Amino acid sequence: MNAILTVARRELKALFDQPTGYILLIVFLAINDFLFFRQAYLFRVASLRPMLDLLPWLFLFFVPAVTMRSFAEDIRTGTIEVVLAQPLTELQLLIGKYLGQLLFVWFALALTLPIPLGLSLGADLHAGVIIAQYVGAGLLAAAFTAVGVWTSNLTRNQITAFVIGVAVMFMLILISLDPALVGLPPALNAMVGRLGVISHFRDIGRGVIDLRDAVYFVTLSGIFLSLAYFALMGLRLSHKGEPRRRLRMATVLVVAGLVIVNLFGRHIRGRLDLTPGRAYTLSSATRDLLRDLDDIVTMKFFASDELPPAVAMIRRDLDDLMRDYRNAGNGMLRVIVRDPADDSTALDDARSLGVPPVQFNVVGESELIVREGYLGIAIQYADQTEIIPFIQRTDNLEYRLSSFIRGMTLKDRPKVAVYTAPTAQPGAAERTFNAFLNNLQQTYDVVTLNLPADSQPADDVDVLVLIGAPDALPADQMDRLRGFLDRGGSAFVMADGMARPGQQEFVLPQDVLWNDLLEPYGVVVESKMVFDIFSNEQIRLDTQFGIPMIAPYPLWIRALSTRSAAINADLDGVFMAWASSLDTSSATPGTVTPLFMTSEGAGVDSLMSMLAPRRRFPRTGLGVRLLAVMVNPAAVDEFDGPSGRVVVVGNSDLLQDRFLQTNATNLAFGLNAVDWLAQDDALISIRAKNRTPPPLIFTSEAMRDVVKHGNVIGVPVILVLLAILRLVKRNKLTRRRYRRSSVSEVSA
């Protein structure tokens, strides 16, 4: 072991004693940081995904450049023979050099740590996800370094070693991509696709360290280190001798064994979920739901064995989820996995249940291949059936499955009445809320409330959802709504303090009718429109030159979650377009819980609000504005008012379909709010699992620039200074003349 560490220290020192090593580090950092911040600041998301997506392609050139001289230079100069003449085996030399090269690549990765540290100044980063992502990057570096060490053993020319290393690593990346697999037989397609590095690396990048991915990278490193050992031993063995034949046979057996472990490693179970709230692990609410089943629930999983690599990784997640559901069901949940492509009975069953085949368009070189496959689920309970025809994503699948099961097995479904105010502004687009209503119907009996025509809410209504507000209501209808809250009914109120935008360029304040209803709670929707300079969405603008421009739109707010209640505990924020602020100064202390707020860069338009994206927004009088609250009268004993719960949001477009397409957390919040109002919290912890990275919001432009330039320029500059100091010191040592020491100096 001491010999291995000695060689590793020598390799590492050699890399840091030459300008080439520092040049490689500086180029790697400069390219990585520049491209990362270009993406991260564009999308305003605090995630390392832009860096991780680019990292395999950067490693494609960086790692071969680091490793190309490890053995090639020693072979060219004949130093390898001198080294092996020492009390050092070939295996110790190989492992030592590999470890030294790998430590250098890991050091380059460590130099990117200022990126998440800088992002933490503008977002609440999930430490577990960052740890998992760096573990995945370290495993990728280990595999690529093994490739580089092997190619350096093949030749005495460093440039040749570099080119071969780039070619081999490129193939490992390429076989993960669909275009490279076009035309292969289905069985071979799936096998080759599992050998690519991208899918395994991307999986760890989610924040889940899966044992199957770790086994893949470890075995890949072992394969190329075995080949490197064969090449190193071949330097002193005769090409036709018996020892070389035995070595070749042993190497073939070892490599074959590692390939088999690599291919069948997908059957190994075990993973470490480091995501917030363990988003990829079955929640306790789902386990409780499945444990309390009183009759058999059948879950039929129709999945093709041969799927494109990108979809195959989804299939792997689904297999894990199906196994977790089966284990949690205690025999009351049956999971049946069938492939309609190979089983005519399964094909007929899929057709009868409404699970169709889906066509996958795979683009190859100068050709387009269309393939069919199945990836759908049908859930059956008694005479009820729910289906998911095709699963495109797994981030919300647990909620969908559990809500289906709960909706089918629930005996008494609460009733929700929904009122939607008509569009009054000329030219305003018609609003639809189909996604929200369809999700509600999975668990609740949903009815439409027409005001003022209906005498509802009826006695059997548990929750009232009010989207927008009418201009006026008869006094008797308002009295019925007050009576609904007085008897314990709950309300979800979403209203605007300014008129909703139509074709006009500005909007004016309007009275919110529901403020009379909310007065006993001490909550008021203000007749103001909020803008947020720091936390907002970006929109596309057309310019006079015909080139689109991306610019921030402060009236489209990225509201920040307080995480102070079950409704929003696992949500980073929601999107609100043209929102109004709330005033809770008259509320009874202890009854109101803030849910969503602006950043410190928020202001309000109170007399009139110009909607133009390019308008100037004032920088004075900025501060935090309240946008959504929940009120629980039962939280205090001295509350003198209605007993019903309410959730109030200063925005009626929160759950509109056009905004839910790109803001899934809005839907999660809306459904969570209804669950809390109905005092039915079973699905909140499942639905609120948050797999989206937090928004990136800096409190000042100066801090934003410091983080970017500190990484893109500052870290490389510091590295340059350290390199100069070390190289100058080393040059001074090399110029020092040899001087014989006197006897007195030696004795001293």
- In the block, tokens 């330097």 appear at 235
List, in order, residues 6 or more apart from 136 with CB less than 8 Å away.
52, 201, 204, 205, 209, 213
The first and second tokens of residue 223, run together, are 């394969």
Cα separation, 741 vs 464, in Å, equals 94
Domain that holds residue 230: 2-273
Q: Is residue 685 part of a domain?
A: no
For the whole prediction, is pTM greater than 0.85?
no
Positions of the chain with pLDDT under 50: 182, 363-366, 743-748
The pLDDT assigned to 704 comes to 87
Q: Which of 557, 553, 667, 561 is nearest to 124 (CA)?
A: 561
Taking CA atoms, 205 is separated from 132, 137, 492, in Å, by: 7, 8, 37
638 with 717, same domain: the answer is no
What are the phi and psi torsion angles at 119 (to 5°)?
A: -65, -30
Tokens of 681: 């919290």
Place of tokens 């410091």: 706
How many Å separate Cα 457 from the centre of its chain?
41
In this structure, the answer to whether residues 536 and 625 fall within a common structural domain is yes
Based on the fold, state whether residues 620 and 726 are members of the same structural domain: no
- Does residue 693 lie within any of the structural domains? no
Whole-angstrom Cα distance, residue 33 to residue 386? 47
Domain assignment present for 404: no
694 within some domain: no
CB contact set of 231 (below 8 Å; sequence gap of 6+): 150, 153, 154
**Region of residue 629 (left: phi > 0; alpha: psi -120 to 50; beta: else):** beta
Q: Which amino acid belongs to residue 35?
A: L
Give Cβ neighbours of residue 270 (< 8 Å, ≥ 6 apart): 210, 211
Is residue 697 one of the residues assigned to a domain? Answer: no
Q: Which of 712, 702, 705, 694 is nearest to 535 (CA)?
A: 694
Is residue 440 included in any domain, yes or no? yes
Q: Of 239, 273, 307, which one is at a domain's C-terminal end?
A: 273
How many angstroms separate the most distant Cα atoms in the chain? 112
Computed from CA positions of residues 408, 412, 416, 417, in that sequence, does the dihedral angle turn out positive or negative? positive
Q: Could you read off the pLDDT of 190-214 as tens digits, one per residue? A: 566 667 788 788 778 778 888 888 8
Q: Same structural domain for residues 360 and 499?
A: no
Co-location of 258 and 295 in the same domain: no
Is 632 found in the same domain as 544? yes
Q: Do 307 and 208 belong together in one domain?
A: no
* Cα gap 275→398, rounded to integer Å: 15
Give the integer Cα–Cα distance in Å for 500 and 376.
40
Alpha helix stretches (DSSP H) within 195-283: 197-204, 211-233, 242-264
Q: Quick one: pLDDT at residue 458? A: 80
3-state secondary structure 669-711: HHHHHHHHHCCCCCCHHHHCCCCCCCECCCCCHHHHHHHHHHH
Looking at the structure, tell me whether residues 34 and 81 fall in a common domain: yes
Q: Residue 603's pLDDT is what?
A: 95
Take residue 604 and report the two structure tokens written for it. 């309000």
Q: Encode burial over 682-700: b for 16+ CB neighbours within 10 A, e otherwise.
A: bbbbbbbbbbbbbbbbbee
**Three-state SS at 64:** helix
Q: Could you tell me which of 508, 515, 449 has the C-alpha nearest to residue 482? A: 515
The residue among 406, 489, 479, 481 whose CA lies nearest residue 442 is 406
Domain co-membership, 542 together with 576: yes
Same domain, 186 and 130: yes
603 assigned to some structural domain: yes
464 forms bridges with which residues in the sheet? 417, 491
Q: How far apart are alpha carbons 485 and 213 in whole angstroms? A: 54
Please state at what angle helix 211-233 crosses helix 90-110, rounded to 10 degrees: 130
d(CA 302, CA 390): 9
- Asked if residue 426 and residue 394 are part of one domain, the reply reads no
- Cα–Cα distance for residue pair 254/258, rounded to 1 Å: 6
Q: Which helix (H) or strand (E) holds 597?
A: strand 592-597
pLDDT score of 113: 94
pLDDT of residue 748: 45
CB 415 within 8 A of CB 447: yes
Both tokens of 50, joined, read 């832009």
Domains held by the chain: number = 4
| Torsional sign, CA 659, 664, 666, 668 | positive
How far is residue 548's CA from residue 550's CA, in Å, rounded to a whole number?
A: 7
Q: How far is CA 226 from CA 65, 105, 151, 221, 433, in A?
A: 21, 20, 12, 9, 60
No. of H helices and E strands in the chain? 27, 24
- d(CA 661, CA 335) in angstroms, rounded, equals 31
How many whole angstroms separate alpha carbon 271 and alpha carbon 208? 7
Give the CATH number, domain containing residue 575: 3.40.50.880
481 plus 599 within the same structural domain: yes
Helix 158-174 and helix 197-204, axial crossing angle in degrees, nearest 10: 70
User: What Rg do the C-alpha atoms of the chain give, in angstroms?
Assistant: 32
Average pLDDT, the chain: 85
Which CATH number characterizes residue 289's domain?
3.40.30.10
Q: Is residue 359 part of a domain?
A: yes
Cα-Cα end-to-end distance for the chain: 34
Q: How far is Cα 232 from Cα 247, in angstroms, rounded to an integer?
A: 11
Residues 6+ apart with CB under 8 A from 618: 603
